[in-house]
Structure 1
Amino acid sequence: MPLLRSTLLAYTPRRLLAVAANPTVGPKQRRFSSTTSHEKDLEDTTLRQIFDSQNVWLDFSHRNVSDLAKPSPGLFQNRYLTEASGFLKYAQVTKKKCQKIVEGVLSAASTEAYVAIPRQLDLLSDSLCRVLDIADFVRSTHPNTRYQEAALQAYAFLFDYMNVLNTTPGLNAQLRKAISTHEASGSWNEEEKMVAQILLRDFSKSAIELPAEKRRRFVELSNQIKTLGNKFLDSMTPIRSYLDFDIRQLKGMDPLTLARWSDGRKAIRLPTVGDVPYAALGTVEDEATRREIYIAGRQCTKNQIKLLERLMITRAEIANLSGYESYAHMHLSDKLAKSPEAVYSFLTSLSADNAPRVVQEWARMREMKVADGISTKIGQWDLVYYRHRLNVDLKPKSRKPDFMSAYFSLGTVMQGLSRLFNRLYGIRFVPRGTSPGETWSPDVRRLDVLHETDGHVAVLYCDLFARAGKNPNPTHFTLRCSRLISSSETVKGSKSPQDANDGMAVSSSTNSSQSYQLPVLALICDFPHPPNSLVPALLDFQEVKTLFHEMGHAIHSILGRTSLQVVSGTRCPTDFAELPSVLMEYFAFDPSVLALFARHWETGAPLPYEMVENSLLMQGRGQGVQTETQILYSLLDQAYHSSLPLNMNGGFDSTKAFFDVYDKYSSVREPPGTNAQGLFGHLVEYGGTYYSYLFDRAIAGKVWKEVFRGGKDDGGVDREAGERYKEEVLRWGGGRNGWACVSGVLGEERLRDGGKEAMEEVGKWGVHD
């Protein structure tokens, strides 16, 4: 879809939230950059307090709103969204605006008009994304069903229009003419050239040059893919929701957990999804019980498998219609990998690097099983149990269950992230009050992101606490990206560029009279509320790591400030989008970073680093087998998105294809009777690019080691290293070839052109966290 660029983030398809800030232009922006040391210290303290105390946040938020009696500025301060019914009006107004832009592009005939085409198409994309991305966020996150339904209606209205635009030959023809007109394209800057090429490729993927009948078929198939994907994700549950056991079968499991699922006698009914079955796999002594739990969690209905197979066949059909050998060939054409062959090269190289660890880990677990007097045969259901056994001796001995989390109150971690980013990039988080109706929940905290010289550069909304009905998946949203606002966009009769942005935030450039729409972000987590007003929310170390990961996406959006939104921040190739987030996980374990903030919430004592070392050791146990599992799913993703769905003898059988991959590449066989592919949601979201996470893990490990010196000699807080990474990677967003970014930050010139050999080289680096 050329006019709505797809960007995959951790765990979900493109999640981009447009939220708003108070206008910050001119004198107010200068005030930010001239904040005194005392004011900065106060902001730093307040940052911790508003996350550690709901009462402090409510008091702060109300004190910092100029006039509570004023009418709501609208959800996200969008002037159309003062009520749910405003969504459709917002979509209708946007469509009219888009139609005018399209008319201008189609009527372009002069050199001057052709020069403007990349920016006009970028404006068209931005206009659509502002509505579609807000609507996508609201329909999945807002607690009010009226808002959800209105957002869904607005989304459907504009999504159909966008599909029409994506198959409008005149737009493609005008873009091609602009590119071939040297007087026009010769004056474009690098960003404009990149955007033109991106949109040209995407038009090609949309079968734009096919006859009208086939273009209509393309739209038909696109809608089918969207519908099938949503149905698949909505029905992604095992056949059996619960399993019944006698309490004696669950020996070794936590008694308190068993009590929650007991009928008061000896019968236990365990769910097959979530933390409980995972805990059972890690602690239940009886192998037959573990096997039953493992298999039940990997069995879905026949209808679910049919949905998946129809989705894969439909994707193969749309690829063939567009002139591609397979959906993977089509989807990878604009990624760093470029082709399925290069992906296989990476995965086989990575598998070879990982194999010795896998052999060693399974051998150790087999030894433990033999010592238990059970069997010499190891099964997939043994992995979690014996990894847990290996880690028992590493757990800190303490009477307090919150021993390590006591050093990580949520406010302290947010304060630490702000301090880290200030050290590395010169930016910090400053709490801001929210206006009535601006956010979707009282739990949401708003932070303005300020740069030491550039002033206000982004707005970040933090919705970090669990609540009923909220999606528990940690997610970063960027619904509105950075973009230069031209003077011609200002609404007639107004001098404010905010009017061109639906009342939402803009910022003036420090170097000129130009204005930018600010990148506006939301961070969604599912941390438990504190037990009472006297104790803050305390995070375990996995939750700290999760928060650092999502902040990696956020910092990409914040620092990737480009003049065109198609390439802003996280709008980069899928197999490059996880690099900043995975790299941030290394900072979470670094002693120099933890020294910035990790303090006991009561005593203020610094965190003893040996606790983190224990955590690192536990994380490393069984990592080879876990990596192998991701490699297997990456290979499965490639098989499903190859030509196989249309060419398999006897019709496409996804279960046979699943076992073909496992039987060929897995070190331990998958038990018969499972069809886990029907529970693998990333097949919908990634579509031939699931390898991306492993790929970016390998690159992130290399960057951490080479650029930040593996944390040695305070490398994790080194400004020079931060600036190098920012200048070579973060600031470009998707406006530079990803291989050039990797080559630049690592000083590896041989990687600059990418290709199969470069992919193989990255595989050799491994994922040794």
Structure 2
Amino acid sequence: MSSDNPEIWKAFNAKSHAPTTPRTGLFQNKDLTSPAGFQTYAYRTLKKARALVDKIVKAQSPEELQGIVKDLDRLSDLLCRVIDMADFVRSTHPSQDIVVAANEAYGLMYEYMNVLNTTTGLYRALQRALENQEVVAQLSDEEKTVARILYRDFEKSGINLPAAARKKFVELSNRIAELGPEFANGMAPQKRVLKFPSSKLHGMDPLVVRGLTNTGTVTLPTTGMPASHALRMVEDEDVRKEVYLACHTSSKKQLGVLEEMLRTRAELARLVGRESYAEVALADKMARSPEAVLKFLNALSEANKPAAISEESILQSIKRELGNDTPLQAWDKDYYFAKLIRAIRSHRRSPDILSSYFSLGTVMQGLSRLLTRLYGVRFVPRETSPGETWNDDVRRLDILDESDGHIAVVYCDLFERQGKHPNPAHFTVRCSREITDEEYLESALSGDREDDGMASARRADGKLYQLPTIALICNFPRGDPSKRPTLLVFREVQTLFHEMGHAVHSILGRTSLHNVSGTRCATDWAEMPSILMEHFAQSPTVLSLFARHYETDEPMPTHLLADRIYEESLAQATETRNQIILALLDQHYHSSLPLFHDFNSTAVFHEIYRAYALLPAGEGTSWQGFFGHLFSYGATYYAYLFDRAIAAKVWKDVFEAEPTRREKGERFKEEVLKWGGSRSGWKCLAGVLGRRELEEGGERAMVEVGRWGSDWK
């Protein structure tokens, strides 16, 4: 079924939308047929959860303790079914009534989850199980992994602290929960606008300038498109400098919020016996410690430095050729890079028609062909029932495995529309999990069937699984069926491959327990499969599977791809260096520094910048106030760089020579994908690369990964 024509798809779905067709709920969930159904679903889940909690806290005998880990995992799954579903729906659904209902269900379940995280009875029950050697000996490796995860999660919530300390823990946690969103949503420059005579903005698009001009004076906002346009286009260096400094200087209020958040996190870490918040955040990551992260970042910095210096030298030479012998400055970078790109494009052998070879339909078909060749799975379009999706554009794909049959459901919401979630994203609406025969029988005998109407299936081994249910969100322009289909620019092709990489991690996971299913793995391992898929998107061998002109059906000329990849690589080392600096800043901010009375986030920012940047930051700047990820990542911002280095190495050593060979795909599936989070990322990496010395990780392994950064192209 082609993805190129929305009207064909609507007609395809319309077969099941006849008036006599029974209405189902969102994702075929039997409760979610109306806004009120969210409350029904939440309360039905709460009833099951409370019964399960009662069973767990009462467990005493070895036989009862034997089931603790599976019961806790099932409890987690029950809560996440509602929380993950509601979180997705409230950020995506066009109906305000549904959004409100989903938000209420989310709040109800999230509040209950927080209560459970501090329920000592659950913690003590797990403790009893893990202290019983007879019980531990009977646990599978996967159950032991989940037990460790759950135990750490309990202790992260301060459950093992004395009563007074636990009360303080809750107070600090609540304060962080207030400060974090305030910081993330409060980004603002110290100067909101700048004023210039219009004659000073020569080089900018006259239409943009005209829209900002009143009586000969331009009022330029220091955030958004006009400011970035000015940095790329304005010829006057003094103007660019003023714009750059304003865009990189945060409001004093924002810096105050940031420093209080960092200080509160540091206090929380000390309360639980850690030296820093980074120690808390990294204990269960591949890195394990702040020291290891710093060693990785310093190794990566050294590997990156020659290429970054080379890129800076190119921009310096362009500045010199244009008659300016002064040293390159931070406010010059975008301006001279834009000149470099324009010069390259003016000498291009042919016009940029790359998107003509990437209609959305052919890209989706290409992804299916690639995954069939690598892993033996394929996409099968399926009609949706009335009420199953949140918009008529949403397409359902059933994922079929050549041996296990139906293994996943993916809902693709790929076209732009007003009010839609603004960023490309992968949502796991429901994780894969084995439903044991005992659990199924128990539910059947009680008259309260576990089945919520969503997809489940038995695999070839006879085991029953709830299937992972995934939503892929993109914002591609809608094609005009009467003229041409939706055509993707190359960056959008890479984005679709990236998000599908997350989905594949969930689809091909072979774990029995919810807590380690698919992308539920260490933060600094979760992005690796998706970044690896971007390498596939750049491979001429892979693109030959599908990249054909939407009108002539001619295959894509290889030089078009080479031109685009070259253009994208021109500033890659510089951008990587910027990310290294931000990751270092994240580590220093989440060290013990915020506990010192003279802590100043701006002073730390400039210290890091002087040590690692190739260009000065600009006197008085305080860009850290715009670094919203400091809240959401909290000492783990390095993870994307880390996974990018690993993905580049896996691509080079495993896939690059034969990227569609089944043997390579099976190797990656068996060593990485099938484990989800149930196996150490280091063991997965050692297995897929054939490098057993990496199995235990540690600081030496972190340095090794940092050195792989020199392989980036």
The two structures have a TM-score, normalised by structure 1, of: 0.88
Specify the alignment match of 2:603 in structure 1: 656
Cα deviation, 1:675-720, whole Å, max 9, x if unaligned, reads 2222212112211011011111111111011111x2x3xx111111
Equivalent pairs counted in the alignment come to: 712
Could you tell me how far apart the structure 2 residues matched to 1:470 and 1:271 are?
26
Contact 2:443 2:450 in 1 (8 A): no
Could you tell me how far apart the structure 2 residues matched to 1:115 and 1:366 are?
67
For residues 518-533 of structure 1, the aligned pairs below 5 Å read 518-531=467-480, 533=482
How has the CA–CA distance of structure 1 residues 273 and 553 changed in structure 2, closer, same or farther, with 3 Å as cutoff? farther
Q: Does 1:83 align with 2:83?
A: no
1:724 to 648, 667, 671: 667
How big is the alpha-carbon RMSD for the aligned residues of Structure 1 and Structure 2?
Answer: 2.4
Contact 2:413 2:472 in 1 (8 A): yes
Specify the alignment match of 1:126 in structure 2: 77
Contact 2:357 2:549 in 1 (8 A): yes
Q: Which stretch of structure 1 is more off in the superposition, 383-392 or 536-545?
A: 383-392
TM superposition shift of 1:289: 3.0
Could you tell me how far apart the structure 2 residues matched to 1:498 and 1:298 are?
58
How has the CA–CA distance of structure 1 residues 98 and 217 changed in structure 2, closer, same or farther, with 3 Å as cutoff? farther
TM superposition shift of 1:231: 2.5
Q: Does 1:515 align with 2:464?
A: yes
How has the CA–CA distance of structure 1 residues 547 and 281 changed in structure 2, closer, same or farther, with 3 Å as cutoff? farther
Contact 1:380 1:670 in 2 (8 A): yes
Structure 2: gaps spanning 5 or more residues = none
Letter in 2 for 1:436: P
Letter in 1 for 2:268: I
Q: Secondary structure at the match of 1:500?
A: coil
Q: Does 1:60 align with 2:12?
A: yes
Q: Does 1:290 align with 2:240?
A: yes
TM superposition shift of 1:454: 1.1
Could you tell me how far apart the structure 1 residues matched to 2:575 and 2:538 are?
20
Specify the alignment match of 1:745 in structure 2: 688
2:330 to 352, 356, 380: 380
Specify the alignment match of 2:54 in structure 1: 103
TM superposition shift of 1:674: 2.7
Specify the alignment match of 1:549 in structure 2: 498
1:428 to 367, 378, 387: 378
Contact 2:17 2:386 in 1 (8 A): no
Specify the alignment match of 1:469 in structure 2: 419
For residues 575-590 of structure 1, the aligned pairs below 5 Å read 575-590=524-539
TM superposition shift of 1:147: 2.1
Q: Does 1:685 align with 2:632?
A: yes
Contact 2:5 2:481 in 1 (8 A): no
Cα deviation, 1:316-342, whole Å, max 9, x if unaligned, reads 222222221111100100000000000
For residues 150-161 of structure 1, the aligned pairs below 5 Å read 150-161=101-112
Letter in 2 for 1:354: N
Structure 1: gaps spanning 5 or more residues = 1-45
Q: Does 1:672 align with 2:619?
A: yes
Could you tell me how far apart the structure 2 residues matched to 1:248 and 1:436 are?
59
Contact 1:477 1:522 in 2 (8 A): yes
2:285 to 306, 330, 335: 335
1:412 to 326, 351, 362: 362
1:217 to 150, 164, 168: 168
1:356 to 306, 309, 324: 306
TM superposition shift of 1:388: 2.5
Could you tell me how far apart the structure 1 residues matched to 2:419 and 2:192 are?
19
Could you tell me how far apart the structure 2 residues matched to 1:600 and 1:123 are?
49
Contact 2:405 2:459 in 1 (8 A): no
Q: Secondary structure at the match of 2:356?
A: helix
1:168 to 119, 125, 144: 119
How has the CA–CA distance of structure 1 residues 202 and 494 changed in structure 2, closer, same or farther, with 3 Å as cutoff? closer
Q: Secondary structure at the match of 1:570?
A: coil
Could you tell me how far apart the structure 1 residues matched to 2:316 and 2:523 are?
38
1:201 to 143, 152, 155: 152
Contact 1:742 1:751 in 2 (8 A): yes
Could you tell me how far apart the structure 2 residues matched to 1:391 and 1:586 are?
23
2:433 to 478, 483, 489: 483
How has the CA–CA distance of structure 1 residues 345 and 493 changed in structure 2, closer, same or farther, with 3 Å as cutoff? closer
Percent identity among equivalent residues?
51
Could you tell me how far apart the structure 2 residues matched to 1:85 and 1:238 are?
43
Q: Secondary structure at the match of 1:735?
A: coil
TM superposition shift of 1:304: 2.2
Could you tell me how far apart the structure 2 residues matched to 1:498 and 1:425 are?
37
Contact 1:498 1:504 in 2 (8 A): no
TM superposition shift of 1:396: 7.3
Contact 1:334 1:573 in 2 (8 A): yes
Specify the alignment match of 1:8 in structure 2: none
Specify the alignment match of 1:40 in structure 2: none
Q: Secondary structure at the match of 1:225?
A: helix
Q: Secondary structure at the match of 1:305?
A: helix
Q: Does 1:227 align with 2:174?
A: no
Could you tell me how far apart the structure 1 residues matched to 2:28 and 2:511 are?
23
2:575 to 626, 650, 653: 626
Could you tell me how far apart the structure 2 residues matched to 1:532 and 1:219 are?
56
Contact 1:138 1:148 in 2 (8 A): yes
Could you tell me how far apart the structure 2 residues matched to 1:745 and 1:337 are?
19
Contact 2:380 2:398 in 1 (8 A): yes
Could you tell me how far apart the structure 2 residues matched to 1:263 and 1:61 are?
50
TM superposition shift of 1:416: 1.0
Q: Secondary structure at the match of 2:408?
A: strand
Contact 2:355 2:487 in 1 (8 A): yes
1:695 to 642, 647, 657: 642
Contact 1:498 1:505 in 2 (8 A): no
Could you tell me how far apart the structure 1 residues matched to 2:41 and 2:679 are?
33
Could you tell me how far apart the structure 2 residues matched to 1:86 and 1:667 are?
57
How has the CA–CA distance of structure 1 residues 462 and 319 changed in structure 2, closer, same or farther, with 3 Å as cutoff? same
Q: Which stretch of structure 1 is more off in the superposition, 560-569 or 380-389?
A: 380-389
Could you tell me how far apart the structure 2 residues matched to 1:497 and 1:554 are?
34
Contact 1:498 1:506 in 2 (8 A): no
How has the CA–CA distance of structure 1 residues 640 and 535 changed in structure 2, closer, same or farther, with 3 Å as cutoff? same
Contact 1:497 1:515 in 2 (8 A): no
Contact 1:740 1:753 in 2 (8 A): yes
Q: Secondary structure at the match of 2:345?
A: coil
Contact 1:457 1:519 in 2 (8 A): yes
Cα deviation, 1:258-302, whole Å, max 9, x if unaligned, reads 56x456996666554445544443333222333333333333333
Specify the alignment match of 1:766 in structure 2: 709
1:112 to 63, 67, 71: 63
TM superposition shift of 1:246: 4.9
Letter in 2 for 1:198: I
2:590 to 620, 628, 641: 641
Letter in 1 for 2:283: S
TM superposition shift of 1:499: 4.0
Contact 1:347 1:631 in 2 (8 A): yes
TM superposition shift of 1:493: 8.1
Q: Secondary structure at the match of 1:717?
A: coil
Could you tell me how far apart the structure 2 residues matched to 1:530 and 1:280 are?
32
Q: Does 1:438 align with 2:381?
A: no
Cα deviation, 1:616-645, whole Å, max 9, x if unaligned, reads 211221222111100000001001111111
Q: Does 1:734 align with 2:677?
A: yes
Could you tell me how far apart the structure 2 residues matched to 1:339 and 1:235 are?
30
Specify the alignment match of 1:757 in structure 2: 700
Contact 1:390 1:621 in 2 (8 A): no
The two structures have a TM-score, normalised by structure 2, of: 0.95
Could you tell me how far apart the structure 2 residues matched to 1:148 and 1:238 are?
32
Specify the alignment match of 1:36 in structure 2: none
Contact 2:408 2:467 in 1 (8 A): yes
TM superposition shift of 1:394: 3.3
How has the CA–CA distance of structure 1 residues 415 and 377 changed in structure 2, closer, same or farther, with 3 Å as cutoff? same
Could you tell me how far apart the structure 1 residues matched to 2:222 and 2:680 are?
44
Could you tell me how far apart the structure 1 residues matched to 2:178 and 2:170 are?
12
